[in-house]
Amino acid sequence: MPAARHRQNHLTQNKMKLTKLIFPFALLLSLATAGTAAESEATALYQDLGQPVDKRVADLISRLTLEEKAMLLNHKGTTVERFKIRADQWNQCLNGVKWDLPTTFFPTCIAMAATWDTGLVRDEIATVLSDEARAIYNGWHLDPKARGEHKGLIYRAPVINIERNPYWGRNHEAWGEDPFLTGRMAVAYVQGLQGNDPRYLKIAATLKHYAVNNVEVDRQKLNANVSERMLREYWLPHFRDAVVEGKACSLMASYNAINGTPNNINRWLLTDLLKNEWKHEGFVVSDLGGVRSMVEGHHKKQMTYVDAVAQSVMAGCDFSDKEYQENIPAAVREGKLTEARLDDALTRVLRVRMRLGEFDPFDAVPFSKISPAVVNSAAHRAVALKTARESIVLLQNRDHFLPLDKAQLKRIAVIGPLADRVITNNYFGALPETVSALQGIKNRAAPGTEVRFAAGGLIGGETGGEWKKEAAEAAALDPALGCGDRLRRHIRRRGARGARPQITRTNGHAGGARQSRVRRQSTDCGGADERRAADGSVAGEKHPRDAPGMVAGRRRWPRNRRCPVRRGESSRPSAAHGLCIRSASAAAG
């Protein structure tokens, strides 16, 4: 027993000596490893401003786990804490930076198009918008507790859909029905947003909605049958201009399908044409809920979310919602999505974010010097006022009737359902003050001038017998035009047929609502005929007339009939009687 105890004590002493020798070595090794890791992280290639952007992006991607990659492809995903990379937090700025505080509010894009001035759009309008977008970003970087939403630098504008459908309800967001004009305006707008710095983007522009999208009703399951010739000659030239010439950073895939294939998984649209033919180096993002709407709309829940995400990424949709974060790892593990294509999608997104300066020191980016004080400044509001004035197009000034001498006006009748309303859209900041047409006329009229108002009709899907009252009030305010009794009879006749009339007047001709007529027409300049309504929708689609915000069309009084007037009275307004002003109902959009 003593011998055994002696051997045990000897062994214990040897272990203690060995521990004393190993512990300092292990400690030194641990410190050395930690130091090497810290040194490696501090000098990581993706943080080296001297390296090309693509090398920096590749280095960052090589450090990410599969789950982290999926997180970065969700535009409002979880922050990747290991690298302190927060989600994109995109924003809107179509005719004003969307924010919970006031920003400069511009006329809508259809009004910008009416200026016919690409220099104004690029050098003033879009430059103001991007200045304010950067200023908001700079504000919360300089002060993490700054008030207002803390938005990112990827902006979902401009909307460049062709306005072929007058019932779309969003025509105020785009630039008209002409692809050439839309393309010129889109290039100018994108260049103004993104800036001209050779290294950094000011903000990143996103073209919406790609493509053949101008119907709101059932848009998550709508299918547009269009020939490739019609696509290339009418529906896509302006997108090509904004990508090839304007260098737009991203495009949004619209909800609809083209020729049976939802745009979210349309490889020809997103990859073959956009990325291979047009050489687009940026990314494609789905519309909000694009994967979900495809599963529940086009595929009627017969497609799993893993399959939907895999097919979307493989087709060329690089960026999306929570469905990407939740389903990309499973799609890769099940062999439905290749890591090569996943890394390509991530490369496209991170390349843009790196060019925005998100991974560089704040002061290294020249746009970091834009002060938050420029937001909604007097200088910027002056540009908005200039744009509004430039957007007004005077088509005719018969007998030099204008300008009016307000000192000679005794009465002004303002007629129209939008006269005392300010119609806005969803893409601007908080509005501190608005002035309707009626209020503006009252503000500018000479003291003592009587300004009277009547709605004259209803818009936006309003129904019921109220229109008769509005029309009667409008006719009562119309003695100068002498149309009272016969205009009332015209309204009653149309009302008896069930129409909801809109009372308008253009150059002395009164007209009401009309029903859409379906006609035969070739949609590919000599190719297969399609049944298409006068509003541009393909036969078989649900007609969008009854969608919220839609308005009826207008027509002139027939050429062979004069506007009804009383004998001995002129149909031209007279300053002696008063000025009759009508707001155009079609502006409701």
Answer for the pair 162, 181: CB distance below 8 angstroms, yes or no: no
C-alpha separations of 334 from 270, 279, 292 in Å: 24, 31, 20
Cα 587 to chain centroid, rounded: 19
Answer for the pair 565, 481: CB distance below 8 angstroms, yes or no: yes
Is 272 in the active site? no
Which residue is catalytic, options 131, 287, 318, 478? 287
Answer for the pair 184, 120: CB distance below 8 angstroms, yes or no: no
Residue type at 280 in one-letter notation: H
Question: Which of helix, strand or coil describes residue 531?
Answer: strand
> Within 13 Å, how many C-alpha atoms sit on residue 374's CB side?
21
* DSSP symbols for 235-298: ISHHHHIIIIIT--SEEEEPSSEETTEEGGG-HIIIIIIIIIIS---SEEEEPTTHHHHIIIII
Give the H or E element holding residue 510.
strand 509-511
Task: Kindly report whether the peptide bond that precedes residue 158 is cis, defined as omega within 30 degrees of 0.
Answer: yes
What does the chain come to in residues? 589
Task: Name the DSSP letter for residue 118.
Answer: H
Read off the tokens for 168.
Answer: 């779309």
How would you class 432 by CB atoms within 10 Å of its CB: exposed for 0-12, middle for 13-18, buried for 19 or more?
exposed
Cα pseudo-dihedral 109, 113, 114, 115, rounded to 10: 110
What is the rounded distance in angstroms from the CA atom of residue 568 to the CA atom of residue 524?
52
DSSP 3-state helix, strand, coil percentages of the chain (rounded to 5)?
45, 10, 45
Nearest CA to 298 out of 317, 312, 285 is that of: 312
Q: Which residues are catalytic?
A: 287
